[in-house]
């Protein structure tokens, strides 16, 4: 009888314990709670996508968590397309993107009953980069388009040495790749069908482009301004032949004199609430935007000389 009563007591204890656990809701909800005991409220934000944004997102997450110890933020890269796909699959709450969501992705979202909401979180310049041994220091936007589309194959055709051009690019799931294709190769012409030359080397990360440029004086690549190391050379770019050649910088992005600049985004599945809303509100605060400038990006509150 004692053994039977003890078994009943243990069974009841386990049942009470199970009912006291807060279940982990599906990822992608606006306010995700970590699976902790009922007495410990904790916010969990999963953030994934653009490799351009990943270092900035990590810096933000570190600062925010230091001020909000009850919040945990997971940050991973993989490319803008990867982040948006994860958002639409419900596996992350915030997707980072260095490009706008595409019409195909919007169609997929609508089919799943999701209404992606866009949040502009910073601005960026795309720097065109070469090895410091390369004597070429300036190019027009058209020349860069001709290089990457394969119309120009030798550096001598743009004022350099008689050497073949080695083209480096991010992979196709990268938002930077898509933006560079549309803005540089196609010169903003939505009807253009220009593509990257077939012998362009597609690399999976910014680090891959930087490492190749360091080793190869014939190479040309592109990357976000915040990722360009001091031992490589940035090309000054003219929007058109005869116009001024401009280097990428916070000032040249704000006054719109630099040809290859863009907004950076975070996307949520619907209007954010709870922990995610608080975090996104903080990201556009003065405190968070100072981190933007520190890492070589352009704060969204920075004004151009005309005050716009």
CATH number at residue 255: 3.40.190.10
Confidence of residue 280 (pLDDT cuts 50, 70, 90): very high
| Judgement on whether residues 39 and 72 belong to the same structural domain of the protein | yes
For residue 180, give the nearest of 106, 231, 237 by alpha carbon.
Answer: 237
Asked if residue 215 and residue 175 are part of one domain, the reply reads yes
Q: Is residue 73 part of a domain?
A: yes
Domain presence at residue 71: yes
Do 241 and 266 have their domain in common?
Answer: no
Average pLDDT over residues 28-36: 32
Tokens coding 164 = 């073949």
- Structural domain count of the chain: 2
In a domain, 2, yes or no: no
Domain shared by 152 and 200, yes or no: yes
Q: How confident is the model at residue 226 (pLDDT cuts 50, 70, 90)?
A: confident
Strands 94-97 and 261-269, bridge-based pairing: antiparallel
Decide: helix, strand or coil at residue 96.
Answer: strand
**Are both 148 and 248 inside the same structural domain?**
yes
Average pLDDT, the chain: 86
Per the model's pLDDT, the better-predicted residue between 232 and 3 turns out to be 232
Give phi and psi for 280, each to the nearest 5.
-65, -35
Query: Do residues 273 and 251 both lie within one domain?
Result: no
Token reading at 11: 């069974």
Task: Kindly state whether residue 304 falls inside one of the protein's structural domains.
Answer: no
* 4 domain-assigned: no
**Confidence band for 72, pLDDT divided at 50, 70 and 90:** very high
Q: How confident is the model at residue 39 (pLDDT cuts 50, 70, 90)?
A: very low
Whole-model pTM: value is 0.76
35 with 161, same domain: the answer is no
**269 occurs within a structural domain:** yes
Residue 12's pLDDT is 34
**pLDDT band of 301, cuts 50, 70, 90:** confident
Assign 66 a pLDDT band (cuts: 50, 70, 90): very high
Q: Are residues 111 and 144 both part of a single domain?
A: no
Q: Are 95 and 82 in contact (CB under 8 A)?
A: no
> Could you tell me if 60 and 288 are in contact, meaning their C-beta atoms sit under 8 angstroms apart?
yes
Clarify whether residues 163 and 252 are in a common domain: yes
The residue assigned the tokens 């030798």 is: 154
166-203 pLDDT, tens digit each: 999 999 989 999 999 999 999 999 999 999 999 999 99
What does the alpha-carbon distance between residue 15 and residue 162 come to, in Å, rounded to a whole number? 78
Residues ≥6 apart with Cβ < 8 Å to 306: none
Across 251-308, the runs of DSSP E, i.e. the strands, are: 261-269
Is the residue at 18 inside a domain? no
Q: Is 12 inside any structural domain?
A: no
Do 141 and 254 lie in a common domain? yes
Least confident of 19-23, 49-53, 155-159, 267-271: 19-23
96 pLDDT tier (thresholds 50, 70, 90): very high
Same domain, 246 and 141: yes
Question: Are 90 and 66 in a shared domain?
Answer: yes
Supply the range of the domain harboring residue 105: 28-123+262-294
152: part of which helix (H) or strand (E)? Answer: none
């Amino acid at each position: 009888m004692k053994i039977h009563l003890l078994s009943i007591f243990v069974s009841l204890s386990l049942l009470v314990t199970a009912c006291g656990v807060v279940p982990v809701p599906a990822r992608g909800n606006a306010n995700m709670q970590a699976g902790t005991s009922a007495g410990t409220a904790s916010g969990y934000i999963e953030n994934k996508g653009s490799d351009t944004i990943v270092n900035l997102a990590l810096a933000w997450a570190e600062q925010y968590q230091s001020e909000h110890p009850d919040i945990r933020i997971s940050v991973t890269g993989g490319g803008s397309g990867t982040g948006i796909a994860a958002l639409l699959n419900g596996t992350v709450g915030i997707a980072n993107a260095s490009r706008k969501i595409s019409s195909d992705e919007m169609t997929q979202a609508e089919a799943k009953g999701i209404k992606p909401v866009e949040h502009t979180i910073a601005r960026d310049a795309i720097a065109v980069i070469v090895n410091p041994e390369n004597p070429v220091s300036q190019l027009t936007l058209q020349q860069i388009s001709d290089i990457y589309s394969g119309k120009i194959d030798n550096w001598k055709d743009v004022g350099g040495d008689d050497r073949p051009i080695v083209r480096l690019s991010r992979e196709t799931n990268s938002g930077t790749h898509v933006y560079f294709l549309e803005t540089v190769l196609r010169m903003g012409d939505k009807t253009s069908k220009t593509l990257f030359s077939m012998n362009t080397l597609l690399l999976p990360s910014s680090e891959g482009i930087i490492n190749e440029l360091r080793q190869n004086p014939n190479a040309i690549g592109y990357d976000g301004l915040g990722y360009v190391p001091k031992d490589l050379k940035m090309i000054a770019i003219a929007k058109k032949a005869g116009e001024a050649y401009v280097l990428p910088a916070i000032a040249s992005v704000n006054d719109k004199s630099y040809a290859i600049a863009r907004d950076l985004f975070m996307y949520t599945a619907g209007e954010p609430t709870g922990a995610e809303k608080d975090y996104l509100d903080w990201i556009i605060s003065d405190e968070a935007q100072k981190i933007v400038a520190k890492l070589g990006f352009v704060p969204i509150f920075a004004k151009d000389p005309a005050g716009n």
